[in-house]
Amino acid sequence: MILLSIFISYSSKDLEIGEAIENHLLKNGIDNNVWRDKRKIETDWSREIANALSKSDIILLIWSESSSKYEWVKNE
């Protein structure tokens, strides 16, 4: 069992991908230390990422065509 805390960051348009990655990690030994913000956070992305940094060992950023259009993601 791996004891890392992983935050999954993604565009709300990539919800299915974020969920699939979360489920895959949970099923493959990451246990309950995987999390993603389930709210629409595009309005205050930088605060959410700063919060995630303080709680996580790893931030997994899903870079996609839809996420690359957001200024918040570009700043990450």
d(CA 46, CA 53): 11
pLDDT at 43: 61
Report the b/e string of 59-73 with b at 16+ CB within 10 A: ebebeeeebeeeebb
Instruction: Return all residues near 12 (Cβ < 8 A) that are at least 6 apart.
Output: 40, 42
Q: pTM higher than 0.85 for the full model?
A: no
Asked if 23 and 71 touch (Cβ cutoff 8 Å), the reply is no
Q: What is the pLDDT along the chain (76 residues), one digit of tens a residue?
A: 556 788 888 888 888 999 999 999 888 877 668 887 776 655 666 777 777 778 888 888 888 888 777 666 666 5
